[in-house]
Amino acid sequence: MDKLTIRDVPIKGQRLLMRVDFNVPLDKSTGEITDDNRIRAALPTIQYAMEKGAKVILMSHLGRPKGSPDPKYSLAPVAKRLSELLHAPVAFSPECTGEQAQQMVAALKEGSVLVLENTRFYPGETKNDPEWSTELAQMGDLHVNDAFGTAHRAHASNVGVAQHMLSVSGFLMEKEIAFLGKVVENPDKPYVAILGGAKVSDKIGVIENLLQKADCLLIGGAMMFTFWKAMGYGTGNSLVEDDKLELAKKLMADAKSAGVELVLPVDTLVAEKMEAGAPSKVVTAEQGVPEGFMGLDIGPASIELFQQKLSGAKTVVWNGPMGVFELEDFAKGTLAIAQSLAKLQDAITVIGGGDSAAAIGKFGLEDRVTHVSTGGGASLEMLEGKILPGLQSIGDKKKSRPVLIAGNWKMYKTPSEARSFARVLLQGIGKVHPKVGVTVCPTFVSLEGVQDILTGSGIHVGAQNMYPENEGAFTGEVSPEMLKDIGVESVILGHSERRAIFKECDELINRKLKMALEQRLVPIFCLGEVLEEREAGKTFEVLERQLEKGLKDLGPEGMETVIIAYEPVWAIGTGKVATPAQAQEAIAFIRNWLQNKFGEHTAQNTLILYGGSIKPANFAGILSRPDIDGGLVGGASLKESFIELVRIARRMMA
């Protein structure tokens, strides 16, 4: 799970819409914060953004205000405490979206911080409402997700806004992904998992997933008694899920079949009441829990057994306490597990949030384990193997296909200007990354001069058009053979301006494409819809027609070198840009069409670029989408910003 982080993108001067978890406990009578650990946990990402000159806009929920403003859940006290911790002013907006919030965002200076009011004061937050997500997205240029605790929820502030801009992880989220991702995807062996808590039903998915990965599974907490009863042991007044007894038997059988050692406690500490100072005693599994008593902790023999099983482990995940650790009388089992993990110097030890995190914090051992998760529910779902929407919406760092940045210079730059700019690119881009291709397409009269300068640099030269004949009485046209003789390697065909201004039809574009392939030129085949077609809901219809006619008579072999560029015509030279989600949707349609027409291999190996008002501020968000393999760049290719586009792609492919 290799996700983009805040380090991977340029943030100076950018409005960072950062989702943090400031859901801190408040004193009911005074409204004062009683524990600021969650605020402190977010400080490294916030401070990094400030130091890099970003404009930091923080979003968080607090409590459960049920979709409307409630003064007792205001983030105003959080903003005040954050200011104290940062030793810097922190502005507070009494609304999350709206005119006042927008004015406060506009007034932000580089390196300054603004806290928006509670996101859950708005019903659109938990509903992930598209309209409210759009409104929220207008507040920022880049989304930073540093709230793992909400990663299992598809809300507007963590998933909705990511449909409009690039989402990257903050440092806290990065750490969660690194450690929980490793234990889920590639744990070092032996791998021991410890599960506790009250109910088997809360952990069914986790147990089933761990049976495919773990070597040993230790079961404690009240859930142990459902297993005990399934095995015929007495459970007294202990918490038992009678409707899960058959499930417990099945899980034990599945563990045996999978070769996973499922270890249950052999004794338990029991008492008549769950109270401090209540008389207690230890009973074995064979003795069973007497009537009138309840099991409240694992016993000493079980502690010793669990410690033996933990010895030599290379990966340990712990989710759920062994007993009622909040009461000292019944905390020995949980304390012993925490101390055992603290002693495993050569193992990755991950605490799965919730009560386990609270327990290890209570015992002062959080600094002695590898990682304590900040999200109980999120960590549980991740251990189940579920896809968390808050993680899925963060951009991927590495792509399966190489990336291409192609600059279309159109009818700009005289031959001398073109040569001069080629030298600027040569110096600024330097050595080309093996997975990031760079092509520039000057005017016909500048091709040879630019090619002379860039030869051997790794920066390729393409043409903006060609005629589908090698020679003849075609006044004003240029043939593919002429382009090849100069050293040109690729050619743009079917560009929206050729279609609109010069009335090129699909049939002519198809002829050009076939001729380019015949002459071993790489065609960059352009297609896309105009505004009227998009607004009429005909985008896919238009794309399908252009694909069918433009690629007519080509088979999988003919498609081997074809590059496709999706240009939403309404977003070219207008200042508008398709959102990353819109670009991904259209390009995914194209890739799916290719699969149906030419097969899986062609679909997965064809580079599909996006072209439409690309600039450094939006390129990372577009490039982060799984089906987008680069950009066909217009205006930004005429400036040094083209170099920054290449750098962004390199960072994302590092």
CB distance 39 to 85 below 8 Å: yes
pLDDT digits (tens, 9 = 90+) for 361-417: 999 998 999 999 988 888 888 888 888 999 999 988 777 899 999 999 999 999 999
Residue 120 and residue 197 in one domain: no
- pLDDT, position 570: 84
In a domain, 129, yes or no: yes
In a domain, 376, yes or no: yes
Average pLDDT rounded to a whole number, residues 339-367: 90
**Residue 61 annotated to the active site:** no
- pLDDT, position 589: 97
Residue 147 and residue 204 in one domain: no
Lowest mean pLDDT among 48-62, 195-209, 485-499: 195-209
In a domain, 450, yes or no: no
pLDDT at 181 over 90: no
Q: Which percentage of the chain shows pLDDT scores above 70?
A: 99
Q: How far apart are CA 113 and CA 65, in angstroms?
A: 24
Q: How far apart are CA 470 and CA 473, in angstroms?
A: 11
| Residue that has been written with the tokens 């990353």 in this structure | 580
Beta bridge partners of 371: 350
Residue 355 and residue 230 in one domain: yes
What are the angstrom distances between the C-alpha of 386 and each of 357, 397, 446? 21, 20, 54
- pLDDT, position 352: 87
In a domain, 422, yes or no: no
pLDDT at 492 over 90: yes
Residue 25 and residue 104 in one domain: yes
pLDDT at 574 over 70: no
Instruction: Name the band, by pLDDT with cuts 50, 70 and 90, for residue 40.
Output: very high
**Residue 125 annotated to the active site:** no
Domain boundary among 136, 171, 206: 171
Which CATH number covers residue 591?
3.20.20.70
Average pLDDT rounded to a whole number, residues 328-334: 95
- pLDDT, position 168: 94
pLDDT digits (tens, 9 = 90+) for 197-225: 888 888 888 899 899 899 999 999 999 99
CB distance 647 to 585 below 8 Å: no
Q: Which residue among the candidates 125, 495, 497, 504 is catalytic per the annotation?
A: 495
158 vs 386, more confident: 158
What is this structure's pTM?
A: 0.78
Helix orientation angle between 506-518 and 539-550, rounded to the nearest 10 degrees: 50
- pLDDT, position 354: 81
Residue 570 and residue 537 in one domain: yes
CB distance 320 to 197 below 8 Å: yes
Beta bridge partners of 91: 114
Residue 379 and residue 407 in one domain: no
In a domain, 180, yes or no: no
Of 555, 561, 564, the residue nearest 586 (C-alpha): 564
In a domain, 148, yes or no: yes
Instruction: Name the band, by pLDDT with cuts 50, 70 and 90, for residue 621.
Output: confident
Domain boundary among 171, 196, 225: 171
Residue 105 and residue 37 in one domain: yes
- What length is written for the chain? 654
Residue 207 and residue 345 in one domain: yes
Residue 223 and residue 157 in one domain: no
Instruction: Name the band, by pLDDT with cuts 50, 70 and 90, for residue 577.
Output: low
pLDDT digits (tens, 9 = 90+) for 536-546: 999 999 999 99
- pLDDT, position 200: 86
Residue 14 and residue 158 in one domain: yes
In a domain, 461, yes or no: no
Range of the domain at 594: 403-412+435-442+479-653
In the chain, the number of structural domains is 3
In a domain, 396, yes or no: no
Residue 619 and residue 649 in one domain: yes
Phi, psi of 445 (to 5 degrees): -70, -15
Residue 234 and residue 305 in one domain: yes
Which CATH number covers residue 215?
3.40.50.1260
